[in-house]
Structure 1
Amino acid sequence: MTPDDAPIRFAILGAARIATKVGKAIQDANGAELSVIASRELSKAETWKQHHGARLAVEGYEEALRQPDIDAVYIPLPPSLHKEWTIKSAEAGKHVLCEKPTAMDAHEAREMLAVCKANGVQFMDGTMWPHTPRSQQMSQVLNDGTLGELRRVVSAFSIQMPDTPDQHRYIPELGGGALYDIGWYCVRASLWAFADVPTHVYASATYHRGVDNNATAILWFSENRVASFDCGYDLTRRKWMEVVGESGNLVCDDFLSPWDIEKQRFWVHDQDGIATEIQSPSVVQETCMVESFVQIIRSKELSEYWPQVSLDNQRVIDALMVSARTGNREEVK
């Protein structure tokens, strides 16, 4: 156990591209230290260490978990490996920051979270934007009555995803597909805005190489609330969200990550269409996420919110995946 003011020492399990961003965030975050980079091939770990920094490069993820001075791990591996390495990390007493989607399905996610809880370690998935000051400012608008009763959440996330043989997002066995990968963020937007889980969902999708590469979804919540979104690998980059109430709406055209880091903003419109632009502090959202994770670990009081919202996100994605295949409205289980 580290002293209260000692940095939380991280190991990264895998040298994926996202590991570069989060690795820098660990280095920049208050109270965090990047100690170990692990790869299945030592040469890759050494190269990563040389270019991006870490105290130690090791061969194999197990070797990273054997390091006695590691407090937490970041798992940037494909979804098919999340369960195995979350459980092994938790059993080794390491707190777990794991990329999204949490798992291949909610059954796996429940097992992962149960092992984390049993071993007294924090679990958090890698959904970054809810940890930012802008997210907190938007939450205040949603909760202070400015928009009246909230009724709708509409969002979109699309990108151009290159179709290459080694792209795991096009490989079903590795957890590929637009709903798993980028629809996850739109689902989180609805859970975040309504502070609730939908009862039923519907999705329509097109498929490529066995995975959904474009999808449109509807989520039904209690009290006459509805969310909808589209996501896809075959459209221009979009990452916007609108939350609609009975007397106003909130719009953020880049809620997933700011187009311009110096202009982190959103708009509130009243019922007459008069818009107020609200500026937020310029921050790096990856760093905000790491700092949020570190604060929980240092508090020695595990947060139940982050594992639960991650599981709820997975439950909704599971139902959407079934609906996209069956063409039916599905219950969220």
Structure 2
Amino acid sequence: MIKFGIIGAGHIANRFAQSLANFPDAELYAISARSMDKARAFQQQHPSELIYDHYQALLDNPQVQIVYVSLPHGLHREWVLKALDAGKAVLCEKPAGINAQQTQDIIDKAREKQLFFMEAMKNRFTPAYQKIKELVQDGAIGQLINIQAAFCRILPESQATYHYQPIQGGALLDMGIYDISLVEDFFKGPLTIGQVDYKMHENGIEIYAQAQLLGDNFSAQVTAAFDRDAPTSAVLTGSKGIITIENFHRPQSFKLQTIEENQEFNLPYQHDDFHGEIQESIGAIKSNINESPVMSLRDSITCAKLIDAIKNKMPDSQAKQNS
């Protein structure tokens, strides 16, 4: 039985714990929250053996094998490093770090300790996404030449938490990471940043960003925003066809259009959209594997570097000034 500990007891952690209950070979063993009251409330919904009001106390428990880090972005590096130092495998909510240096620090520590670490890019583990990967690799749309990915929503500052905070906030780290991860996964060649359009909050975090990414015979456009609503979708264009994905950050269906055919695919989750990444983590622990081939350490650092490069095109970005 694989014993999980969860650090952070917010909305995402609740969804994760609910998904974890579907695995007969794993259990939620311990919860750590900012207060004992919050930990108890979480435990009432998601039974666990132990609860803590200090993150380090959970890490000090030798029974915990793997830690799911579900904290605001700016706390990821600190607590992932502490978890690895405590000998725990780690599954960390995206983004792994708020910049490439933080992400590299995590990767270096995971390699030094020879422990499993994975950034929780859950959409890569859904049946629909994996089918899209298979079709593209098999040449269903020919040579991939363009990707358009947009993830936007209206998120007023009054309804946000860390999203608007300097350094750890911004649309790129919260939603643009999905856009960037999609591009990185389907185009593994070097990418440079072309034109960037953006809108900044007065505190220096971007509330809208649209960037062009350029590769060898390839281009992409990624869009993320807190200040406008738009369909969350991605379009993969190849020399022979197009794949359109609605809700690409948690896909269950997509369309394939070629000269020969128009086909719709409906591939629902196995239980929910967290299931695949949990299954990957459990499998890695059982097989003593330190890195996922689906969301590798290389993938994480490449995505972080691309976000840094986009921010470097924003002269007034506070995140750039503090990276």
Superposed pair shares fold, TM > 0.5: yes
Q: Does 1:324 align with 2:314?
A: yes
Residue 308 (structure 1) aligns with? 298
Which residue does the alignment assign to 1:295? 283
Amino acid at match of 1:282: Y
Q: Distance in 2 between matches of 1:196 and 1:28?
A: 37
Given that 2:40 and 2:51 are in contact with CA atoms closer than 8 Å, whether structure 1 keeps it comes out as yes
TM-score by length of 1: 0.89
1:271 CA drift (Å): 3.5
Q: Of 264, 271, 279, which aligns to 1:277?
A: 264
Amino acid corresponding to residue 316 of structure 1 in structure 2: L
Contact kept, 8 Å, 2:280 with 2:292, in 1: the verdict is no
Query: CA separation in 2, counterparts of 1:209 and 1:100?
Result: 25
- In the TM superposition, residue 282 of structure 1 has moved relative to its aligned partner by 3.4
- 1:96 and 2:90 equivalent? yes
Question: How big is the alpha-carbon RMSD for the aligned residues of Structure 1 and Structure 2?
Answer: 1.9
1:185-264 superposed matches below 5 A? 185-210=178-203, 211-221=205-215, 223-236=216-229, 238-258=231-251, 264=252
Measured at CA, do residues 251 and 73 of structure 1 come closer, stay the same or move farther in structure 2, by a change above 3 Å?
same
142-151 vs 280-289, which deviates more?
Answer: 280-289
Shift of 1:30: 5.0
Q: CA deviation at 1:208?
A: 1.8
Unaligned runs of 5+ in 2: 318-323
- Deviation for aligned residue 1:107: 0.9
Letter paired with 1:296:
A
Structure 1 residues 61-210: aligned runs within 5 Å:
61-164=55-158, 167-173=161-167, 175-210=168-203
Structure 2: distance between partners of 1:22 and 1:311? 24
Q: 2:256 aligns with which of 253, 256, 268?
A: 268
Cα distance in 2, alignment partners of residues 29 and 321 from structure 1: 40
Identify the residue that residue 320 of structure 2 maps to in structure 1.
none
Letter in 1 for 2:85: E
Deviates more, 1:157-166 or 1:249-258: 157-166
AA aligned to 1:311 is I
Pairing 1:19–2:32 present: no
**Local SS of the residue matching 2:63:** coil
1:45 is paired with a residue of what secondary structure? helix
- Distance in 2 separating the partners of 1:148 and 1:78: 40
Moved more, 86-95 or 292-301: 292-301
Q: Is the 8 A contact 2:89 2:117 kept in 1?
A: yes
Q: Give the match's secondary structure for 2:305.
A: helix
Distance 1:59 1:121 in 2: 25
Quick one: which amino acid aligns to residue 323 of structure 1?
Answer: K
**1:234, distance to aligned residue in structure 2 (A):** 2.0
In structure 2, the residue matched to 1:3 is none
Q: What is the aligned residue count?
A: 314
- TM-score, structure 2 as length reference: 0.92
Q: How far is 1:180 from its partner?
A: 1.1
Letter in 1 for 2:68: Y
C-alpha distance in 2 between matches for 1:290 and 1:209: 38
Percent identity between the aligned chains? 27
Instruction: Indicate conservation of the 8 Å contact 1:207/1:213, yes or no.
Output: yes
